[in-house]
Amino acid sequence: MNEREIRVIKLDKIDLDTAQPRGKSDEKKVIELAKDIRERGLLYPILVTPYYKQDSNLILGKNAINSPKCRWWILDGERRVRAIRINKQEGIEAIVKMDLSFLQMLEIQFASNTKRVQITVEEMARAIKRFKKEFLKTNPKGNPIKRLVELTGYSPSYFDMADAINRSSKELQEKIFTGKVGGYAAAEIERATKSAPIRRGITNVYIDSDKPISALTPRVLKKDFLKIEENKNLSDEDKEKLTEGIVRKWVSSKNEGVDENPNFLRYRYEAEEFFSLIKKWNVKRLKKEEIEELITIIDIIRNYFMEERRKVGEIRRYRATRNIGG
């Protein structure tokens, strides 16, 4: 068979590839295409290759074409197939590619589909995952992302964004895929820190929060994460919890009122940050009365803590009395 031979193939023998970078077709556009095909005919054949599955293996090309199990793997033309089905036609013209490896099939799908349609982050993440796996089988030292950039013209950061989703937790993936968290969140978490505990802390907030959180939040707090990472006195668990506290504080920074749940690690961190800030003040150049005013404010802060400590003591004594009497 000539590699560019066109033949009419039956629609019930064509399989749509749900993992290709093509995604969900806009039904309205498919209906419009069906109408156009009825009026003008099919202007461009679809592109397919013969295949069938044997156990966990794919049999492709010439090895598949003469088998009774042979089906057609669609490489380009999914919307045309859907439109032809709407028109209730039994067959469609197709260019048959015979000598393709599975990797070449995936490359054709990326090159043809990503340039023409809008693709969701979920569709792209799934497609990249499969492409990387196949690419590294034959090119173990190669760069699959670089190859995708060559095929599509998209920026490396776009593919890195989608690939970072594959490396994130299933819970965060679900948040991203349902639109509750921006697609770049996973990549921003990775760029913000290399520390696994800190990454977990950021991720936990994204997963648990009922409020929308910007995907760029990790970038804004990168300096805070670096300080946590460099603090050798903190255990991994402390780093995770402290990170959670800082991110939650940032998310709720526009809300007034007392924290619903206390977070000692965050409070200590912010107190230390405040003291570091004070040490940068040029106090020596201030007037005596100005220094006295600052001392008064600091005394007010100290007295506030003393009063809160007294209240805690009273609450504990009250509870102890209730327990003894009860």
| Mean pLDDT, all residues of the chain | 84
Q: Is 78 part of a structural domain of the chain? A: yes
pLDDT beyond 60 at 286: yes
| pTM (2 d.p.) | 0.60
Q: Is 89 part of a structural domain of the chain? A: yes
- Residue 10 makes CB contacts below 8 A (sequence gap 6+) with 90, 91
| Residue 297, domain extent | 283-325
Q: What's the gap between Cα 100 and its chain centre?
A: 31
Q: Is 256 part of a structural domain of the chain? A: no
Of 118, 153, 177, the domain-final residue = 118
pLDDT by residue (tens digit) across 92-127?
Answer: 999 998 888 888 888 887 877 665 555 677 778 888
Rounded-to-10 torsion of CA 100, 103, 108, 114:
170
Structure tokens at 199: 């990454």
Question: What pLDDT sits at residue 126?
Answer: 86
Q: Is 217 part of a structural domain of the chain? A: no
Q: Is 9 part of a structural domain of the chain? A: yes
Of 55, 85, 118, the domain-final residue = 118
pLDDT by residue (tens digit) across 169-215?
Answer: 999 999 998 888 888 899 999 999 999 999 999 999 999 988 788 88
Percent of the chain, pLDDT > 70? 86
Beta bridge mates, 232: none
- 321 — pLDDT class (breaks 50, 70, 90): low
Q: Is 100 part of a structural domain of the chain? A: yes
Question: What pLDDT sits at residue 15?
Answer: 85
pLDDT by residue (tens digit) across 152-166?
Answer: 888 888 888 889 999
Q: Is 241 part of a structural domain of the chain? A: no
Average pLDDT over residues 141-148: 91
144 in Cβ contact with 135 (< 8 Å): yes
The count of domains in the chain is 2
Q: Is 321 part of a structural domain of the chain? A: yes
Provide the CATH number for the domain around residue 111. Answer: 3.90.1530.10
Of 76, 99, 118, the domain-final residue = 118
pLDDT by residue (tens digit) across 38-78?
Answer: 999 998 999 998 888 887 677 888 888 888 999 998 888 88
